[in-house]
Amino acid sequence: MHADSGAKTRRMSIKILTGVGVLVVVLGLVYAVMLARATARLRQAYADLETDGRPMRTADIIPPDVPDVQNSAVLYESAALLLKAQPSPEADQPDDRPGRQRDLLGYMGGRARAFVGETLDPNQHGELKQLLAQEVVAGALSAIEQGVQRPTCRFNHSYGNGMPMNSHLSDLRMLMSIVGAKACLEAEAGRPEAAWDLVQVQVKLADGMRTEPLLMSQLVRMGLISQSCSTVQKLAGTTLPNSRQYERLMGLLDTLDDARPLVLAGDGERLLYGEWLFTLPKKELYEELHQTSSDYWPEIVLRAQFFLVTFKPLFLGDHAAYLQLMRKQAQLLGQPYSVERREGLEKEFAAVPRRYTFTQMLAPAMARIKELHCRLVAEVRVTRTGVALLRYRDAHGGFPDTLEALGLRDISDPFTGKPLLYRAEDQGFVLYSVGEDLKDNGGSPKRAKQRTDFDTVWRFPRRQAP
């Protein structure tokens, strides 16, 4: 009896072990197939990027080191530090005061931006003039003017350890606003040549980060260029540059609608952060994700989640999906605007499986960025064409019937590929791009929180707000 029971137990054990063995073999085969497929997808993603001619190494996109004597960034940083070293008029205010600025750079930058945007309290106008007349401010402006004459601009980033910090971006915004306010005040004081010389300084300062392969830097650069366009339009309402200044300004504006810096920044996003993250050792990758995560789950849950998302076949598939999406985003940035292409990329991103955690986290909204760039290009072309219209009026006593009379190189709307829309009216003009909704809204400007039914417009003279 005992012998029969032992035999049954042995047979059962053999069956269990055989079943376990078969299961292990099947799981091993499934894992091998999943791994092979994911590896093949990743290799194909790399091959597709190479076929497109996209840079494949960080060394291909990192700007070379620049001697200090040729580097405008050194002087921009010097100007910012000079103003930061000075206390602001708010420095002695209580610490809990909202929006308080401790240093002169932040304080003046905010006031100057409000002044150019015509939202500054009239009671603060005199204070801004006094601040701009200070010797320390003159020294900072002099450093900026010297900086824009230098051939290159390279901020001291460490490009080898993930996405570099962009600590200089806020400083550049403040310096831009100060230069713009100074230009407007020079025009108010009856010194138009000094004003337009400063406008050129502002445009060059805005374009300083052209070679930075960082997406955030390029987005800020676009904002700075838009700010300089606003300064040009504001000044042109009261005075115009002389012939020498006009030619130089038009030459500067003519270079600002180039999409290549933004395409390079997309490559930088992929190489400097995406690829860096996918190739981190697991311990460092976990620490990086733990630092950037807003989840407050227990450690054991985070570890289990991390194990799942870094399961090798899934991780390689995630990597491949990220590269494929970044490739298509680079193609979109380099192509003319198309609603169909934009919507296609948005659908493709929405279709990325939720299990591809890193692709969901890393891939920026390039379709939206393409719209922002086209809007900037429209603003630059409207500004350039508007200044030419005002020069034409001064030379001929009135505005032309069509924009072709100006003889400009490119007056096309980046959203449609057709000429900018224009009409002369009364003693002025309305000049505009239809914008991303592709609808002619008659030159209606964008209002707060408005998402559609507006144009990128320059109306001259501007209508006064009620």
Summarised one tens digit per residue, pLDDT across range 1-57 is 556 666 777 777 777 777 777 778 777 888 888 889 999 999 999 999 999 999 999
- Using CB atoms within 10 Å of the CB of residue 309, give its burial: 0 to 12 exposed, 13 to 18 middle, 19+ buried: middle
pLDDT at 466: 37
Average pLDDT over residues 71-77: 95
Average pLDDT over residues 59-75: 92
pLDDT at 141: 95
pLDDT at 82: 95
pLDDT at 212: 92
Average pLDDT over residues 418-439: 92
What are φ and ψ of residue 370, in 5° steps? -60, -40
Lowest mean pLDDT segment, chosen from 26-30, 83-87, 131-135, 382-386: 26-30
Q: Note whether residue 263 is domain-resident.
A: no
pLDDT at 465: 45
pLDDT at 294 over 60: no
Task: Give the helix/strand (H/E) hosting 37.
Answer: helix 2-51
Q: Note whether residue 434 is domain-resident.
A: yes
More confident residue, 113 or 293: 113
Q: Which domain holds residue 426?
A: 374-466
Sheet containing 421-425, strands listed edge to edge, beginning at the edge strand earlier in sequence: 421-425, 428-433, 456-460
Lowest mean pLDDT segment, chosen from 122-126, 205-209, 422-426: 122-126
Average pLDDT over residues 68-85: 94
Summarised one tens digit per residue, pLDDT across range 347-374 is 888 888 888 888 888 876 777 888 899 9
Q: Note whether residue 133 is domain-resident.
A: no
pLDDT at 165: 67
pLDDT at 284: 83
d(CA 388, CA 85): 41
pLDDT at 365: 73
Task: Give the helix/strand (H/E) hosting 230.
Answer: helix 215-236
Neighbouring C-alpha atoms within 13 Å toward the C-beta of 219: 15
Lowest mean pLDDT segment, chosen from 121-135, 156-170, 174-188, 227-241: 156-170
DSSP result, 137-172: HHHHHHHHHHHTTSSB------TTSSSPP-THHHHH
- What whole-number percentage of the chain has pLDDT above 70? 92
Summarised one tens digit per residue, pLDDT across range 430-460 is 999 998 889 998 888 877 666 777 899 999 9
More confident residue, 199 or 158: 199
Q: Note whether residue 424 is domain-resident.
A: yes
pLDDT at 179: 96
Q: What is the pTM of this model?
A: 0.89
Q: Note whether residue 387 is domain-resident.
A: yes
Lowest mean pLDDT segment, chosen from 14-18, 104-108, 410-414, 441-445: 14-18
Residue 92's pLDDT band, with cuts at 50, 70 and 90, is: low
Q: Note whether residue 326 is domain-resident.
A: no
| Domain total of the chain | 1
Q: Note whether residue 355 is domain-resident.
A: no
Summarised one tens digit per residue, pLDDT across range 41-50 is 999 999 999 9
Q: What is the dihedral of CA 302, 303, 305, 307, to 10 degrees?
A: 160
Summarised one tens digit per residue, pLDDT across range 375-396 is 999 999 999 999 999 999 999 9
Per-position b or e across 185-220, b if 16+ CB within 10 A of its CB: bbbeeeebeebbbbbbbbbbbbbbbbbbbbbbbbbb
Q: Whole-number mean pLDDT of the chain? A: 87
Q: Note whether residue 221 is domain-resident.
A: no
